[in-house]
With several copies, the nearest count.
Chain A
Amino acid sequence: MTEAPRRVPVVDYLSLDGAGGPVLRANACTACGALFFDRRNACARCGAREFEHRPLGTTGTVRAFTIVKRAAPNVPVPYVSAVVALDGGGVVKANIRDVEPDPAQVTLGMRVALTTFTCGTDVEGTEAVAFGFAPAT
């Protein structure tokens, strides 16, 4: 029996133990290169059934955002949700952190970089770690 890990990624496509720090990892179709974040049966693009793990870039561009002010009871508002196109491929949704949740402060096309934060602690003291993006230059 091993001791319970102290930090776990909130989703399994977030890797916390990469040599270069936290990184998102995709299932890449070996036939066509399409990227997916979930467990796969086959490729949505080409139908092939083989995949390999691939780490993605940690910087990207905000293609779209919203500022959520009405949410489920336990979700703190306001927050900024965005669609981020990663440099080198891959599109992901996440919160934009370290920015005022104000349309004047978030801009379409802004450059962002991957960041992580603790999003919860379970009854055993394990911390769940989520990812987001913060403004980058």
Chain B
Amino acid sequence: MADDLWIIGASMTPFGRFPDRDVIDLAATAALDALDDASATIAEMQTLAVGCLTEAPNMLGQRLQKQIGQTGIPVYNVANACATGATAVRTALLTLKAGEADMALAVGVEQMGKMGLLGSAGRARPEPAGYEPSGRYGSVMPVEGILGTQLMPGVFAQAGMEYAYEHDGVGFEQFAKVAEKNHAHSALNPLAQYRKVFSLEEVMGAEMVAYPNTLLMCCPTGDGAAAVVVCTGTKLKTLDPGVRRRAVKISASVLTSDPYVESDTAQPDVSTLTKRAAAQAYEQAGLGPSDLDLVELHDCFATAELIHYENLQLCEPGGAGDFIDRRAPWRDGTTPVNVSGGLISKGHPIGATGVANLYEVATHLRGEAGDRQIEGARVGLTHVIGLGSACGVHILERATS
């Protein structure tokens, strides 16, 4: 009954700052490039799923159709924080699995401009009028900074520090090594927002944002888009040999939310849902972490990448510090992680990220990654997490024929 699922077209725009383009330009560029890559037209797409966090309420999918082809197909505008792009892909895949489409287009896009590391929370707090309790905590004023921090750099810093509390051999230096690696990797990626190599000392000596995350250990804001054309195995058999040869199999597609844990009252738990998603994905694919030739995981902050080594079973339990110390996730290591440069240096236009990591892995599996190619890559895993929380994991395989 279950049909295979395939990526036959993939694209991403360069990530960066594009003030002269609008969010539709970015989405249209990625969509048209993915269609071209698939040797397909918009008329062949039977569903469209679009992920864009900031434009989620604004019919971006339909606005995109008006620029690339209004064919009347179902459009899903989805959002799931930093897992928004992965959710768009999953939604497109659902329509394939449900038998409602045999070819579909998923687009992730975001235009963030220079909104800054703290987002809207970076703006000044209004002066207090009379105190009146409001909201679910009966707070009489905004409590950010008064009752700890709930902003991203601090939340992920504390998530990393909790791992350090529980496991030996993890500290500021290990976290910094993650960023050193991703900056180094990005130098090989022409699509990355930044391509500058930094020494470990430079990473550790950069402006401290939220210890242990320095500015060079935090992903930037930026603009960009990515898209994939997906189809069923049955459909794939009808397509041209050139398309079939470059097709990449989606061996697992998983979305999870965070199950209850006691510490949710302090801050979201980014580990349990990732562990669950990874376990489900390995089971779906019939593969294990040792089969992975490369991994694109959600390094929104260096502290996050380190704990995901364990969450994704890339290292032994408790062994994430050792894993980075022995350079296992470097591109010439045993399990290359974020050879694109990762969110930290490739960039993180929110809605685009979960689609762009599929583009990255697919490009390696196709042997088309140029200077940054992981030679002979056959299997790769992508991972994103949106705080609050949503986790998307996909496992891709090179076509065996």
Please report A residues at the B interface, Cβ cutoff 8 Å. Answer: 4, 8-13, 26, 34-47, 49, 63-76, 79, 81-85, 89-95, 103, 108-109, 119-124, 126, 128, 130-132
CB-CB < 8 A to B150: which residues of A? 93
CB-CB < 8 A to B124: which residues of A? 72-74
Q: B207-222: contact bitstring with A at CB < 8 Å (1 yes, 0 no)? A: 1111111000000000
Find out whether the CB atom of B130 lies under 8 angstroms from the CB atom of A122: yes
> Looking across the interface, which residue of chain B has its beta carbon closest to that of A127?
B131
Find out whether the CB atom of B66 lies under 8 angstroms from the CB atom of A65: no
Count, chain B residues at interface, CB 8 A: 65
Given contacts A47-B43, A64-B158, contact A123 B128 (CB under 8 A): yes
Find out whether the CB atom of B67 lies under 8 angstroms from the CB atom of A69: no
**Shortest beta-carbon distance from A130 to chain B in Å:** 5
Find out whether the CB atom of B146 lies under 8 angstroms from the CB atom of A130: yes
**Shortest beta-carbon distance from B4 to chain A in Å:** 27
Find out whether the CB atom of B138 lies under 8 angstroms from the CB atom of A11: yes
Please report B residues at the A interface, Cβ cutoff 8 Å. Answer: 24-25, 28-29, 32, 41-43, 65-70, 117-118, 121-125, 128-131, 133, 136-141, 143-151, 153-154, 157-159, 161-162, 164-165, 172, 207-213, 260, 262-267
**Shortest beta-carbon distance from B136 to chain A in Å:** 4
**Shortest beta-carbon distance from A69 to chain B in Å:** 5
- Which 4 A-B pairs give the minimum distances between C-beta atoms? A12-B138, A75-B145, A81-B148, A66-B157
Task: Name 25 A/B residue pairs within 8 A (Cβ), A-sorted.
Answer: A8-B131, A8-B133, A10-B147, A11-B137, A13-B138, A41-B28, A41-B68, A44-B66, A68-B145, A68-B211, A71-B145, A72-B144, A73-B124, A79-B145, A81-B148, A81-B149, A81-B158, A82-B158, A83-B148, A90-B265, A93-B266, A95-B148, A108-B164, A122-B129, A128-B128
> Looking across the interface, which residue of chain A has its beta carbon closest to that of B32?
A42
**Shortest beta-carbon distance from A44 to chain B in Å:** 5
Find out whether the CB atom of A70 lies under 8 angstroms from the CB atom of B32: no
CB-CB < 8 A to B148: which residues of A? 81-83, 93-95
Find out whether the CB atom of B69 lies under 8 angstroms from the CB atom of A41: no
**Shortest beta-carbon distance from A6 to chain B in Å:** 11
> Complex formed: what's the CA distance from A126 to B141 in Å?
12
> Complex formed: what's the CA distance from A93 to B123 in Å?
22
CB-CB < 8 A to A73: which residues of B? 122-125
> Complex formed: what's the CA distance from A35 to B261 in Å?
10
Partner of A42, one of B28, B117, B130: B28
Find out whether the CB atom of B154 lies under 8 angstroms from the CB atom of A81: yes
Given contacts A75-B144, A93-B266, contact A70 B29 (CB under 8 A): no
**Shortest beta-carbon distance from A68 to chain B in Å:** 5
Given contacts A42-B67, A93-B267, contact A122 B128 (CB under 8 A): yes
> Complex formed: what's the CA distance from A12 to B41 in Å?
30
Given contacts A44-B67, A47-B68, A83-B158, contact A103 B212 (CB under 8 A): yes
Instruction: Point out which of B67, B210, B265 has the most chain A C-beta atoms below 10 A from its C-beta.
Output: B265
> Complex formed: what's the CA distance from A43 to B139 in Å?
21
CB-CB < 8 A to A44: which residues of B? 65-70, 260, 264
**Shortest beta-carbon distance from A110 to chain B in Å:** 10
> Complex formed: what's the CA distance from A75 to B130 in Å?
20
